[in-house]
Structure 1
């Protein structure tokens, strides 16, 4: 009996323990923990997502370029729409019936019980016109948010634009944090720095009655979270220089890229023709985008990053540096201006050395420089010898940031092209090509292609005597500096000593008597410029004009490349344009007599072509 009595107490103890456990848990759930009550009360709670302020964008001097302004979206919950008077609703919104029907159909496809945007980017006056009437249209509400507003008419390609997230984006894991109706960066800096600029959402829970009228916060905001604003971008762009460059490139197609060679910071990047950044904001943005897309002048085409051309005579500088590094020439190697090898566009003095060759842009000289680098007798087979020599020459050329993406901090950058030996094998057949097949590369022609950014970076490398930092727009994020990849120094295969050999010739191009780039001289204001002109052959029309330089020659603070399509000789149009840009940046203004060039340079490109 005592044994049975003892078992009874054990069983009672177990039941008591279980009862206490369940009782304690129920007490916690019903009294202490409000999460279950929150779930049960969803019909009487309103979950308000707080969209954070997007980071602002400034130029290098602290001038505000991109800000936020309030706009409003008309949201709809399809299940709550009752007996919609579509005629009156369309009249109120000033929208066609088909557009409203399509919007409602899209909203139902997304969710019948969740809110999604029907009309976006309503301005404050537009909101005022409809807000008082929304009480007659159940299921519709207004959602306030911040949209982008531009305080500059320039730099549209680099700044980029913000647009509504699409259903295709929402399906990707990368965009898991976004909701329908959210906005994100689509292009330019807005897209590249989206993670830094988007910030972090907050959530507020509000009690509402059956009529949807707010009755206060839920549990004194215990479950609310604050939004965190996105980080500001401090760019390296000099917006006044950018504006000046865009003005000079009116009526033309081409690009201007200006860098600070010591840091890789982009000072200006002009793509012509362009457009104003505000075009891709607000209501009707989609229609305006299609107009730009269909424009035959291709204003959406970001020429400094996407257009690739042969670099022309500017490339002769790299060809010479690689040959010097390979030890096949010296600065005093006296190659003649032999027109039997290739035609020279200039009559000039003899004997030759590298400075005279650069000053006069002598084609036969640089033909012989590359031939010395490629044909080295590595093989008794002349085709194999050319193949081996060209591969080594190309390897060193690639260290100048050519033939591959530099990694600038906006998208759409093209690689350009420095052809491989395999490229020529496919074109002509294995062991069916030699130096005579590829000699045009020596003077920057043929199959070679570079972007405007790559050309400016090429001059930055020469200014630095052999190294560069990846070109970038943003020098500061929030209170920090640029991204880590823009602080890394890249070194070419050419020793610094060889760069000293070509700079005097580059100075003679601009500042010497009879140089091909005399129109870029700034000696009258005490600035020495080192540069190189180029005239790029074009099978489809008039030749392209280019000029690349850095200044001051002794302590470079700006490297620049100007490329103008169908403008002929680079010294006539590209060189004076570069001079104005360099003087504007270094002095803050332009000498009065040179300022008269501004109107002259805004002429159409074809007017610069020499008449024979």
Structure 2
């Protein structure tokens, strides 16, 4: 009985305690706290957002690449608008009466009680005129914000652009953005949007029953200040970025330069480019459509999306794998009679080199030498196990960053496919062998890379066995922090001792009379590299150079591709030479290459001819069977003449050879 009595009072006590908690909470909500007052009085309180300054973007030395300038938006709250001289307002902001009616209707549909943008991106001059007359325009107010300005007008594709948010982006970012807000749409502006955008400030404005603003509620107790976006320090060297864009003017191509020891991208040039300032202001929409409709595709980011056979960039890689596996050493020789024969088929080499070893094979870019290496790889387990041997080989190739993306901090990188044995079986049936895919051994056929991957291969060789993921941002904010993954070393599984003979050959390619890359030789700087030629079924071949400098303690690894530039030494090698000299010496000595000055290289126009201007061509044969090493010298024109203003054929890159 006593237990029942005690249980009764315990239950009653719990009910009393709960009642006290609820009463206390009610007192807090109605008396002690303003938070719920704010929520319950949204009809009397309105949030005014204060937009932060977007983070400044600089180059590696602190030179500003992207900064801000003030602009103003004219806002309207339809329910507050009283009769006024609409023509007067139209004249001030430069719109027609028809435009006025459309804009006002759009604001009414969005909300009668919430302000929305009526006319955006007003100039400082227009703002000044408005300020004198705002008392006449009840329901309208001016909101200050900032827009981008790019002082040097370079790096359009690199930096990207900002644009008004879409509804999908508003939903994806969980309501942070409102209609009319701006967001990074491409490039670094998009990749680092959350760092650059900052944090909006909020001002809780109190209105009386007549809808007249009474100032900040509770003297601003619940307001917050806008916090500016973080500054981004990029890895880019503005001087060589600018020089690269000048050298690729009126050309289609790409330049990627990397600091081997850090993975920092020094130059990221995609051509044709565009002035990033065209994507800012009231004409940005029209400018976007003009750039988008350009037949040479300025919005196509060639450093990370351009698809090219690696060609000569691949030969040093192939040699390193063979050396690591012990299939050859630096003194192993093969005979080059000017071809390599598989059954009754002869695959043509560009030279007759006789007995040739590794160093000379690289310097001369002897196809026969590297076909022999590839056959050794394919038959190392016996002729019946070639498919397994190939799979082991292609797994080693992948460690050099081919067949997948490298993970650069830039949106939209492409990796392109590296075939497995199973892929070849699906294509050729199970009876394929090394003779079927021999061109892969010299970086042709079913093997494609981006310019970024080519430059990264050079960084690996410069580092003698490892790379750090290429990246475009050196530091975020005052403490200059970056993602730790951009400091990790990725080893390719080749011992450092094997790089010496390969680098010897690349040194000779540039600095020896027998080398194929003599046009990239720099006075007093020992550069190592390779030229190449990429076949183009729609016109003149593409000019390629890959390399690094100086040989000891390399500071720059570079890949240059000039579409329709012909032989690698005609354009790509000289351009790489100028870029490297500028970066290492901060000067250009005014030397001539192929009889032309740097100004003539800048002036030459190599834009591909139009579809209706293209001559009929005979079908291209296998580039491994023909000599495509015919040199093309610069046009040496004093002024470029751009006669191509119609739709052009998009170049298709099939294969590369020396």
* TM-score, length-scaled by structure 1: 0.90
Cα separation, partners in 2 of 1:501 and 1:167, compared to 1, 3 Å? same
* Alignment map for 1:10-409 (pairs within 5 Å): 28-29=28-29, 31-39=31-39, 41-81=41-81, 89-96=89-96, 99-172=99-172, 174-208=173-207, 214-341=213-340, 342-348=347-353, 350-378=354-382, 380=384, 385-409=385-409
Secondary structure of 1:592's match?
A: coil
- Partner Cα distance (2:210, 2:83) in 1: 18
Cα separation, partners in 2 of 1:439 and 1:102, compared to 1, 3 Å? farther
Give the superposition deviation at 1:313.
Answer: 1.7
- Partner Cα distance (1:377, 1:583) in 2: 46
Secondary structure of 1:436's match?
A: coil
User: What root-mean-square deviation, in Å, do the aligned CA atoms of Structure 1 and Structure 2 show?
Assistant: 2.8
1:567–1:606 CA contact under 8 A, matched in 2: no
- Partner Cα distance (1:445, 1:20) in 2: 81
1:509–1:518 CA contact under 8 A, matched in 2: yes
Cα separation, partners in 2 of 1:443 and 1:167, compared to 1, 3 Å? same
Cα shift readout 1:364-400 (whole Å, capped 9, x = no counterpart): 11111111111224463xxxx3322221111111110
Q: Identify which of 581, 584, 587 aligns with 1:583.
A: 581
Q: Which residue of 1 aligns with 2:463?
A: 464
Cα separation, partners in 2 of 1:85 and 1:393, compared to 1, 3 Å? farther
Q: Which residue of 2 aligns with 1:604?
A: 605
Cα separation, partners in 2 of 1:489 and 1:99, compared to 1, 3 Å? farther
Secondary structure of 2:142's match?
A: strand
Give the superposition deviation at 1:59.
Answer: 0.7
Secondary structure of 1:125's match?
A: helix
- Partner Cα distance (1:19, 1:334) in 2: 95
1:378–1:388 CA contact under 8 A, matched in 2: no
| 1:436 and 2:440 matched | no
Give the superposition deviation at 1:36.
Answer: 4.2
Which range moves more in the overlay, 587-596 or 388-397? 587-596
1:69–1:148 CA contact under 8 A, matched in 2: yes
- Partner Cα distance (1:49, 1:352) in 2: 72
- Partner Cα distance (1:18, 1:559) in 2: 72
Q: Which residue of 2 aligns with 1:485?
A: 485
Give the superposition deviation at 1:514.
Answer: 2.7
Q: Which residue of 2 aligns with 1:414?
A: 414
Secondary structure of 1:548's match?
A: strand
1:76–1:107 CA contact under 8 A, matched in 2: yes
- Partner Cα distance (2:131, 2:184) in 1: 29
Q: Which residue of 2 aligns with 1:519?
A: 519
Q: Which residue of 2 aligns with 1:6?
A: none
Cα shift readout 1:432-458 (whole Å, capped 9, x = no counterpart): 322112111122221221111110001
- Partner Cα distance (1:306, 1:546) in 2: 16
Cα shift readout 1:300-358 (whole Å, capped 9, x = no counterpart): 1111111111122221111111222222222211112133422222354x431111011
Cα separation, partners in 2 of 1:19 and 1:490, compared to 1, 3 Å? closer
Which range moves more in the overlay, 269-278 or 35-44? 35-44
- Partner Cα distance (1:120, 1:386) in 2: 65
Give the superposition deviation at 1:87.
Answer: 5.6
Give the superposition deviation at 1:102.
Answer: 4.5
Q: Which residue of 2 aligns with 1:8?
A: none
2:404–2:415 CA contact under 8 A, matched in 1: yes
Q: Which residue of 1 aligns with 2:562?
A: 564
* TM-score, length-scaled by structure 2: 0.84
2:313–2:457 CA contact under 8 A, matched in 1: no
Give the superposition deviation at 1:481.
Answer: 2.6
Cα shift readout 1:83-105 (whole Å, capped 9, x = no counterpart): 68766654443235555454445
Structure 1 or 2: more helix by fraction: 1
Cα separation, partners in 2 of 1:421 and 1:23, compared to 1, 3 Å? closer
Secondary structure of 1:351's match?
A: strand
Cα separation, partners in 2 of 1:118 and 1:347, compared to 1, 3 Å? farther
Q: Which residue of 1 aligns with 2:572?
A: 574
Which range moves more in the overlay, 56-65 or 44-53? 44-53
Cα separation, partners in 2 of 1:480 and 1:18, compared to 1, 3 Å? closer
- Partner Cα distance (2:561, 2:370) in 1: 22
